Structure 1
Amino acid sequence: MKALVFTAPGTVELREVPEPVPGPGEVLVHVAASGICGSELHGVRHPGFRVPPLVMGHEFAGHTDDGTRVVVNPILSCGRCDLCALGGRNVCRERRIIGVHTPGAFAERVAVPADTLVTLPGGLGWTAAGIVEPAANAVHAWALAGAPGGARVGVIGAGAIGLTCMLVAASGGAARIEVADRSADRREIAAQLGADAAGPELTGEYDVIFDAVGAAATHEQSLACLRPGGVAVWLGLADSTAGFDAAHLVRGEKRVLGSFAYQGADFATAVDLVGGWDLSWVETFPLTEGAEIFTALMNGRATPVKALLAPGSRHP
């Protein structure tokens, strides 16, 4: 079968690879949509967490052999430890991720554990299904922030995670949402999706700020623009440097929360939400064009904000 393979630093290639053979407790998923994540773009440029050769792809949906339409939760946890027992399977010390530690969905087919499947509701298109995983990240971040209806919300970064944070906050009753991004094209998309303001940087004072970039400068900005007693939720992974003044954090009694992935309930909520969103910022490309679009995005192309790969032609 055809698959997009991470073969060397900075390089992905369309290759013929062996058919996946489901093991005990696994099922075969015929991939319909698989999203290119910013973490994959970074990971191909800077191998370490992801090691070539690897078929990536952890944001995906498709159908099983019997025709059941599913989206896959790619977080594989032990299910036995103290953290799993508390519901924190996303922070399980032994967690693995499909497309990182096992072959992923930049392929025609992928074998996954049966318990990772979430059945899709009727009428939900493949584009929306392909956005469930990033949307689940945003749902989890909103929950960590306390789901504060009526809040003034700032979002740093108008990529897929930033835009889904904005959309989840709007669904949750945020009073005002402002988005910051260096790209004028992405700021325009944020405005079209309902942001009350969009500029190169945040300029106001906010109750909640989502940092979907994760650079030292955005860490600093998230705290500088946060009201005393407010909460900054960091989702981005661009830089491991903290980059903020700890004394300012203490004197303002501000909070910083790390947000990684999602729990099962977040994933289910995302499935319910995505069907009602404007997803005009998402574009689907045939898997055969995967290397070209992946490389363009990795090298700084700003659009599409979200690219999905599909083994067949473009689809709704």
Structure 2
Amino acid sequence: MRALVFTGPAAVELRDVPEPAVGADEVLVHVAASGICGSELHGVRTPGFRVPPLVMGHEFAGLTSDGRAVVVNPILSCGSCDVCRLGLRNVCRERRIVGVHRPGGFAERVAVPESTLVELPQGLGWTAAGIVEPAANAVHAWSLAGAPAGARVGVYGAGAIGLSCLLVALSGGAASVEVADRSESRVEIARRLGARSAGAALTGEYDVIFDAVGAAVTHERSLALLRPGGTAVWLGLADPTAGFDATALVRGEQRVLGSFAYTDADFATAVETVGEWDLSWVRTFPLADGAEVFTTLMNGHDTPVKALLSP
């Protein structure tokens, strides 16, 4: 079968690979849509967390061999530790991720544990199904922030995660959402999706700020623009540097929360809601064009905001 394979630093190739071996308690999924994540673009440029050769792809949906339309929750956890028992499988100390620690969805077919499958509502299209995973990240971040209806919300980054945060906040009753991104084309998309304002920077004061970039400067600004007692939720992984004034954090009684992935409940909420979203910022490409699309995005091209690959 064909698969897009991460073969080395800054290199992905379309290759013929062996058919997946389907183990006990596993299911073969015929992939219909698999999203390219910003973390994968970064991971291919600077290998470390992802080790080549690897078929990546942790955001995917498709059909099982018995005809069920499913999306895959790629987080694999032990299920028995203290954290898992609290319902926080996403931060299990032993967690593994489909597409990172085992072959993922950048292929015609992939074998996954039956427990990862979430059946799709009837009529949900593959474009929406392919965006469930990043949407779940935003649902989780909104929940961590307290789902504050009436809040003034700022978002750093208008990639798939940032736009998902915008859409989740608007549907959750935020009074206003403003978005900052260096890309004018992405800023324009944010405006079209309902951002009160969008541009190269956030200005003013906010109750909640989502940092979907994760650079030292956005860390710093996400706190500088918070009201006293406000909450910054960091989702981005661009830079490990914190970059903020800890004394100001204390004096303003502000909160910084890390947000990693999602709970099972967040994932289910995303499945239920993405069908209502304007997804004109998502484009689907044939898997055969995957290497070209991936490389173009990896080299800094800002469109499309979200690329899905389909065999």
TM-score range, shorter chain: over 0.9
**Counterpart AA for 2:58:** H
Match of 2:131 in 1: 131
> Can you list the C-alpha shifts for 1:52-94, whole angstroms capped at 9, x where unaligned?
0000000000000011000000000000100000011000000
Match of 2:300 in 1: 300
Match of 1:189 in 2: 189
Q: Does 1:201 align with 2:201?
A: yes
Give the superposition deviation at 1:194: 0.6
Q: Describe how 1:246-261 pairs up with structure 2 within 5 A.
A: 246-261=246-261
Q: Does 1:18 align with 2:32?
A: no
**Counterpart AA for 1:258:** G
Match of 2:103 in 1: 103
> Can you list the C-alpha shifts for 1:198-257, whole angstroms capped at 9, x where unaligned?
010100100000000000000001001110000000000000000111011111111000
**Counterpart AA for 2:196:** D
> Can you list the C-alpha shifts for 1:80-124, whole angstroms capped at 9, x where unaligned?
100000011000000000000000000000000001000000110
Match of 1:66 in 2: 66
> Can you list the C-alpha shifts for 1:159-181, whole angstroms capped at 9, x where unaligned?
00000000000010000000000
Unaligned runs of 5+ in 1: 312-316
Q: Describe how 1:133-282 pairs up with structure 2 within 5 A.
A: 133-282=133-282
**Counterpart AA for 1:307:** A
Counting aligned pairs with the same residue, the percent is 80
How many residues are aligned here? Answer: 311
SS in 2 for 1:275: helix
Determine the C-alpha separation between the residues in 2 that align with 1:214 and 1:3: 30
- RMSD of Structure 2 on Structure 1 (CA): 0.4
> Can you list the C-alpha shifts for 1:120-164, whole angstroms capped at 9, x where unaligned?
001100000000000000000000000000000000000000000
Determine the C-alpha separation between the residues in 1 that align with 2:171 and 2:268: 15
Tell me the TM-score normalized by structure 1.
0.98
Determine the C-alpha separation between the residues in 1 that align with 2:33 and 2:238: 25
Q: Does 1:34 align with 2:34?
A: yes
Structure 1: 4+ residue segments shifted above 3 A: none
Match of 2:89 in 1: 89
SS in 1 for 2:54: coil
Determine the C-alpha separation between the residues in 1 that align with 2:204 and 2:64: 48
Tell me the TM-score normalized by structure 2.
1.00
Determine the C-alpha separation between the residues in 1 that align with 2:145 and 2:169: 10
**Counterpart AA for 2:235:** L
**Counterpart AA for 2:105:** A
**Counterpart AA for 2:301:** R
Determine the C-alpha separation between the residues in 1 that align with 2:54 and 2:221: 35
Determine the C-alpha separation between the residues in 1 that align with 2:12 and 2:228: 45
Give the superposition deviation at 1:21: 1.5
